[in-house]
Amino acid sequence: MKIGILDIQGSVEEHLKCLKKLKNMEAVLVKKIEDLKEVKGLIVPGGESTTIGKLLRRFGIRDEIIKRVKKGMAVWGTCAGAILLAKKIVGKENADSLGLMNIVVERNAYGRQLDSFETQVEFDTSPKKDCCGKKLKNTVRFCRIPAIFIRAPKILEVGEGVEILARYKGEIVAARENNMLVTNFHPELTDDEKVHQYFVKMCEK
Ligand code: GLN
């Protein structure tokens, strides 16, 4: 199974390293439409959402990604990637979002670079449904995972159909809506691959 990593800006190499540790899959870097061939899921890495948003248009792949996600391709946005997937972004200087997921986010809501922090969160590791909405058997549920927040956004609201997967101090920090996953922390900067494994499961149909 092929999983793509959007190779425009941000923590691309780190995601690649994590995916390489997992079995039965091939990780590919995605810069242009052709790179999306046979890709079952796409990771939109953390970085700078305004930059990635602009370059998605310049690279000519923005509309193709939107089209594919609407057709069921799995997508996972980490931090800046989560901002780019949101239907609504509040605050000034907003990114050119793809407008896909039923969440409202606020950029840099945990403060500046200096306010970045590392903690642990309880993550719901067991998807209840696959991408087609078929129910999956749950085995293990919440697992403690390390979570690094770097100028992270806050997920202020989630709409209908969005499942909350993790919270930090009561605030939502990971969520899923059908084939779309967001984490506003960075699993790719840790040695724990549980969220990557979760995403791989979402990509399997
Ligand atoms: N603050 C960045 C933004 O708004 C996101 C930071 C990150 O991805 N670590 O785009």
* 39-44 and 74-78 strand pairing: parallel
User: Is 203 designated active site?
Assistant: no
SS3 130: coil
- Identify the active-site residue in 48, 106, 177, 188: 188
pLDDT at 139: 58
- Identify the active-site residue in 18, 79, 131, 203: 79
Atom 2 of ligand 1, nearest CA residue = 48
Q: Which domain holds residue 39?
A: 2-204
Q: What is the pLDDT of residues 126-183, one digit of tens each?
A: 766 665 667 766 656 678 999 999 999 999 999 999 999 999 999 999 999 999 999 9
User: Is 79 designated active site?
Assistant: yes
Is any ligand 1 atom within 6 A of the Cβ of residue 79? yes
Bridge partner residues of 27 (DSSP): 3
Which CATH number belongs to the domain containing residue 29 in this structure?
3.40.50.880
- Residue 183 burial by Cβ neighbours in a 10 Å radius (0-12, 13-18, 19+): buried
Q: What is the pLDDT of residues 78-118, one digit of tens each?
A: 999 999 999 999 976 778 999 999 999 999 999 888 889 99
Q: What is the CA 123 to chain-centroid distance, rounded?
A: 14
- Which residues, including other chains, have CB under 8 Å from residue 163's CB and lie 6 or more apart? 124, 128, 175, 176, 177
pLDDT at 95: 81
CA of 45 to the centre of ligand 1 (A): 10
DSSP string, 92-121: SS-------EEEEEETTTT-SGGG-EEEEE
* 163-168 and 154-158 strand pairing: unpaired
CB 90 within 8 A of CB 110: no
User: Is 132 designated active site?
Assistant: no
Look at the chain and report how many structural domains it folds into.
Answer: 1
| 107 CA: nearest ligand 1 atom | 4
